[in-house]
Structure 1
Amino acid sequence: MTIIEACDLRKEFPVRVKVGRWRRVRRTVRAVDGVDLRVARGETLGYIGANGAGKSTTLKMLTGVLAPSGGTVRVCGLRPVPDRTRLARRIGVVFGQRSQLWWDLPLRDSFDLLRHIYRVPSAEHAARLRRCRDLLDLDAFADTPVRQLSLGQRMRGELTAALLHGPEVLFLDEPTIGLDVVSRQAVRSFLGELSRTGDTTLVLTTHDLADIERLCRRLVVVDHGRVAHDGSIADLHARYGSRRLVVADLDSAPAEPPVLTGATLHRVEADGHRLVYACGAASAAQVVGALAGLVPLRDISIVEPDIEEVVARLYRSPAGEPCTAASAGAGLTGAPSPGPRTSPE
């Protein structure tokens, strides 16, 4: 069942731009430019983009904060702006820089007030709160006023507040921004558990791509208001030429790095004692097996593709076009060389 559906979604903002010394002219900036999006119930979707790409604007239209300039959008079968009050009871929202908690009240009292605002039955509220207390370890600071909480503690409180009324969709905008390592891990673990149950649809926007890799099977990348990629992270790696690396540490440096079928030499390090190969048609296991028979191996490791590098490559490509085989392997070579060298990446 589709719970979020957007068709040709657009949002334009008028801006005044300085021209010359005194004159200003009015121009229109299209922040979201024809986004089509369908999200199934229970799905966890990563929605990412560079600053100004339109991801936060899209979320605001999906939650009814902003009215679209064009196109259609429905969330939980409702139109976000005309049906804003009804929709608010069926969605939860966590914005990293905004709070839905009462600043001067203890965290526990904020939760109780939200129960009355959303008219949640006492038993349901207690059950959901108990689950969040266990998974997010809230008891240690539940009686502390919100203004005295650390950022990590407040974010755990924000997540709890957004879930106490049992939303069908949870929108998360930069939920781990500014958090320390421990708090970030706690939030990720909680969202991972929430995703595994399949009871709540999650839509996550973030600049921390580690969140996306750990939580989302599907990734939508927006660039200049348009969808540049919609698919799995594996599809993104394949489309933009990302490849696994096999790092071989050797007991002694060979006169020439071996030429391997289905893999290319990526770089040579440590005066020839470390060879790095990029897997192509050959699997990592095949590359390791070939190297074992050609050079004296001391250690071997496999480096997975870095999603940050792939997304950066997407933004550098013209209009989000896929990388060609030549551009993806730019600087890689499998040809023998007269001695140890370092190929440009």
Structure 2
Amino acid sequence: MIELDEVGRTFTVSRRTGVLRRERRVVHAVRDLSFTVAAGEFVGYLGPNGAGKSTTIKMLTGILTPSVGRVRVAGLDPSRRRTALARRIGVVFGQRTTLWWDLPLKDSFQLIRHLYKVDREAFHRRLDELCEVLELGAFLATPVRQLSLGQRMRGDIAAALLHDPAVLVLDEPTIGLDVVSKAAVRGFLRGLNAERGTTVLLTTHDLGDIERLCRRVMLIDHGTLAFDGTVEDLMATAPGETSIEEVVTRLYTRAAPS
């Protein structure tokens, strides 16, 4: 479902070095990145701030074009087939919403139905299912701006799934949620993957999400892949450590350039 082959992405940045002078330099956000994600996998994609996670996601969703290498998602080139790809994937960004701020939640869902050209009957069937599992019914008529963070996050997840995508990309989907909301979102995602076979790529700083949801973990640091394996393999890289947080911290340190 997801393929990256020797992908790199560079940015040119400038900084002031004098009154009239600027210095330009090339930053390698991602370099020589290769991995595949098979249909039905639930994969955690970890890395410290600035490691290249967000750049990777932007390339997977067609927001950015790779400087070098090849990217395919659901068989499509994201940067060249962005509209077609949008019908095959769902994306949730925990720190920004895709919902219309001043509209009731149900009206946002109706607009999304028209954007994705979802059949009316299929839309209502899917919405009823999502409302039941994510417990959205009590606030469907509430403007998005009045929703709590947990309610909005559940609304964003539902919005990303209304067109029944084959691939779901999640960027910090449980950020800022309370214990109850976090458990509800985790339970839903686990069921979505197990029952519908949806392929999920999850980026998060909450390692509890990784422990409870992911069978496979990839760790990126300084733009390159530092680890790719099962959670058990990850724990085995640091004998004596008892928590995934301690193991990941050690791997970050090990991957850092000298």
Q: Is the 8 A contact 2:92 2:170 kept in 1?
A: yes
CA deviation vs aligned residue, 1:284-327 (integer Å, no higher than 9, x gap): xxxxxxxxxxxxxxxxxxxxx2000000011122559xxxxxxx
CA deviation vs aligned residue, 1:119-155 (integer Å, no higher than 9, x gap): 1112211121111111111011111011111111000
Inter-partner Cα distance in structure 2 for 1:45 and 1:20: 46
Q: Is the 8 A contact 2:226 2:255 kept in 1?
A: no
Q: Is the 8 A contact 1:195 1:215 kept in 2?
A: no
> SS in structure 2 opposite 1:28?
strand
User: Structure 1 pair 218/82, CA: closer, same or farther in 2 (3 Å)?
Assistant: same
Counterpart amino acid of residue 60 in structure 1 = K
> SS in structure 2 opposite 1:58?
helix
Q: Tell me which of 217, 228, 244 is aligned to 1:307.
A: 244
- Per the alignment, residue 325 of structure 1 pairs with none
Q: Is the 8 A contact 2:221 2:255 kept in 1?
A: no
Q: Mind listing any 5+ residue stretches in structure 1 that lack a counterpart?
A: 244-304, 321-345
- Per the alignment, residue 237 of structure 2 pairs with 239
Q: Is the 8 A contact 1:47 1:203 kept in 2?
A: yes
Q: Is the 8 A contact 1:13 1:28 kept in 2?
A: yes
Q: Tell me which of 147, 150, 160 is aligned to 1:149.
A: 147
Identity of aligned residues (%): 59
Larger radius of gyration: 1
How high is the TM-score relative to the length of structure 1? 0.72
Query: Size of the alignment, in residue pairs?
Result: 258
Structure with the higher fraction of residues in helix conformation: 2
Inter-partner Cα distance in structure 2 for 1:181 and 1:210: 11
Q: Is the 8 A contact 2:222 2:256 kept in 1?
A: no
User: Structure 1 pair 138/8, CA: closer, same or farther in 2 (3 Å)?
Assistant: same
Structure showing greater relative contact order (alpha-carbon pairs closer than 8 Å, 6 or more residues apart): 2
Q: Cα RMSD over matched residues?
A: 1.6
Tell whether 2:68 aligns with 1:70.
Answer: yes
CA deviation vs aligned residue, 1:46-92 (integer Å, no higher than 9, x gap): 00100000011101100001111110000011000110010011100
Inter-partner Cα distance in structure 2 for 1:98 and 1:28: 28
Q: How does 1:219-238 map to 2 (within 5 A)?
A: 219-238=217-236
Inter-partner Cα distance in structure 1 for 2:126 and 2:170: 19
Q: How does 1:1-345 map to 2 (within 5 A)?
A: 3-19=1-17, 23-243=21-241, 305-317=242-254
Q: Is the 8 A contact 1:43 1:198 kept in 2?
A: no
Inter-partner Cα distance in structure 1 for 2:240 and 2:117: 50
- How many Å apart are 1:197 and its aligned residue? 1.4
